[in-house]
Structure formats: C-alpha cells, structure tokens
C-alpha cells in the first residue's frame, strides 16, 4: 500500500497537492486527515501560506499522529513564511508529542526541523541530537533520516569553513544514501563529497567524481547544471 511519502514529488508541489486532495476525499479517517496535513505542506511549498493554515485550522484530530502532523506542518508553514521564531515551538512540541507516542519517523522529522530553525550557534548540536535519535530508532524509515542529517551536519561545518570535517560527514551521508538505495539522491551525495574535495584542494579526486556523475547522468538522458558548474570550476 502506498504511503504518504510515496505521493510526494517535492519538485512539483502543485501535483503533490492534487494527489493528497484526492486521497483525502477517498480515504477513511484518520488517513484522510493525515493527507490533508500534506495538502497544507504542499500549499506552503507553493508559498500559499494562508491557504495552508486554513487547511490545518479546519482539521479536528482525535489521535496522536494527527495532532503531531498538524503541529509539524503548522511549523513548516511558519518557517517557509520566514517566521522561524514562531515555528520553533511547533517543532519542539511535535517532537515531544511524537516521542511520547512512539512515532519515531515523525519525531526525527520534527527534531530535524528544530535544527533548521534554532540560532546558528545551536544548529550543530540540534542536528547531532536528531541524528542520535535516528540511529537509536527501531523504525527503519526513521533510521534512514541519517542520510539527510549527516548532509546537514556537513553543511554546518562547511559554512564554518571547516571543509575537512564537512567531508567526513558528507562521506558518511553518501554511505547512508548507498544503503538506502535511491540513485538520484545518491548522486547528490556524491556531488557533495566532490564539492568538499574541491574546497580542500583535492581537485583531481573531485574532477574524477564529477566526471563519473556526468557520464552516469548522460546514460539516463539527464543533465545536472551543478555537475557542469563544478566541472567548469575544475577546469574540465
């Protein structure tokens, strides 16, 4: 059976919105309510924040998961609209409620969102907290959050100019992506490793990774301008 996750195409939130609306119209509760929370999220990604909040305000939740999902998506709408201060307590509340209810995937998701809105000097600690929780989880979907969280840790270090430590995190993120088995996201993880290698002056290694990515993309008739940009920077 398809999950809510399966209906998402983050590159096309309008189409995702329509799929979730169709599911909400046909599904029994509580799935219909869960689907409507994703309608709100899709609206937020289209910058239709008031519409998203209206969808959430109309929902009545009778179970822990529904309450967590509404709180989490309210936080995402606030963050997307630029109000990180108001978003933070939503994410903290969602994480606390999800943890108490044993909803590991949602708990890690909420903790990952906390890390995105806390002040910059707290971001690394908050992301590491989310990573620890993901690694402790019994739910394999919650554990698979390690890939995104390791990437975020790498970016925190890179933003601070510590590309050596960033590379370690990006290499760990790549290993996680290879374990999960999503080719497109694995290519992104490989790109991040090569990007770090370039910043460290290891240009031959970086060029080899980017060339391999270019060849792989050509084999599936795809183009990634970021790969081309890196190759240009590497003098290729």
Task: Calculate helix-pair angle for 64-80, 31-45, nearest 10 degrees.
Answer: 10
- Same domain? 181 vs 198: yes
pLDDT greater than 60 at residue 1: no
* CA trace torsion 26, 32, 34, 40 (10° rounding): 80
Same domain for 99 and 197, yes or no, is no
Same domain (yes/no): 30, 122: yes
Domain boundary among 143, 175, 199: 143
Q: Quote the CA–CA distance of 213 and 145 in Å, as a whole number.
A: 24
- Place 2 in a pLDDT band, splitting at 50, 70 and 90: low
Q: Are residues 92 and 136 in the same domain?
A: yes
Domain termination residue (choose one: 77, 108, 143): 143
Say if residue 74 is exposed, middle or buried (CB neighbours under 10 Å; 0-12, 13-18, 19+).
Answer: buried
In this structure, the answer to whether residues 119 and 226 fall within a common structural domain is: no
Residues 167, 175: contact at Cβ < 8 Å? Answer: no
**Which pLDDT tens digit goes with each residue over 109-143?**
999 999 999 999 999 999 999 999 999 999 999 99
- Does one domain contain both 103 and 185? no
Residues with Cβ within 8 Å of residue 55, at least 6 apart in sequence: 36, 37, 39, 40, 43
pLDDT (0 to 100) of residue 43: 98
196 and 102, same structural domain?
no
Under the banding of pLDDT at 50, 70 and 90, the label for residue 152 is very high
Range of the domain at 95: 1-143
Res. 205: pLDDT tops 60: yes
pLDDT grade, residue 73 (50/70/90)? very high
pLDDT score at 183: 95
207 shares its domain with 103: no
Residue 35 pLDDT greater than 70, yes or no: yes
Measured CA to CA in angstroms, residue 119 lies from 125, 202, 224 at distances of: 11, 32, 32
Give the number of domains in the chain. 2
CA distances 40 to 35, 45, 70, 177, Å, are: 9, 9, 9, 28
Together in a domain, 139 and 160: no
Same domain, 226 and 158: yes
Average pLDDT over residues 70-99: 98
Among 128, 143, 158, the domain-final residue is 143
Same domain, 35 and 127: yes
* CA–CA separation, 160 and 142 (whole Å): 28
The CATH number of the domain holding residue 194 is 1.25.40.10
Confidence of residue 32 (pLDDT cuts 50, 70, 90): very high
C-alpha torsion sign, points 171, 173, 176, 181? negative
Whether the per-residue pLDDT at 3 is higher than 90: the answer is no
Tell which residue, 72, 104, 65, 64, has the closest CA to residue 90. Answer: 72
Residues 18 and 107 in one domain: yes
| 233 vs 37: CA distance, rounded Å | 42
């Amino acid at each position: 059976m398809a999950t809510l996750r399966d209906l998402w195409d983050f590159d096309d939130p309008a189409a995702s919105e329509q799929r979730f609306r169709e599911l909400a119209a046909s599904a029994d509760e509580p799935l219909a309510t869960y689907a409507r929370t994703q309608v709100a999220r899709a609206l937020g990604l289209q910058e239709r924040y008031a519409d998203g909040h209206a969808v959430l305000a109309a929902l009545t939740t009778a179970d822990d998961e529904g309450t967590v999902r509404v709180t989490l998506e309210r936080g995402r709408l606030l963050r997307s609209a630029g109000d990180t201060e108001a978003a933070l307590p939503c994410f903290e509340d969602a994480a606390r409620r999800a943890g108490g209810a044993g909803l590991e995937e949602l708990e890690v998701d909420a903790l990952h969102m906390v890390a995105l809105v806390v002040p910059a000097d707290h971001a690394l600690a908050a992301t590491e907290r989310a990573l620890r929780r993901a690694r402790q989880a019994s739910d394999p979907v919650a554990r698979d959050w390690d890939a995104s969280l390791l990437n975020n840790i790498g970016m925190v270090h890179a933003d601070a100019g510590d590309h050596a430590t960033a590379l370690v995190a990006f290499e760990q993120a790549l290993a996680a992506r290879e374990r999960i088995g999503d080719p497109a996201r694995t290519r992104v993880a490989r790109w991040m490793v090569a990007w770090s290698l370039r910043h460290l002056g290891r240009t031959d290694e970086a060029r080899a990774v980017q060339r391999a990515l270019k060849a792989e993309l050509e084999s599936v008739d795809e183009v990634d301008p970021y790969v081309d940009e890196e190759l240009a920077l590497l003098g290729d």
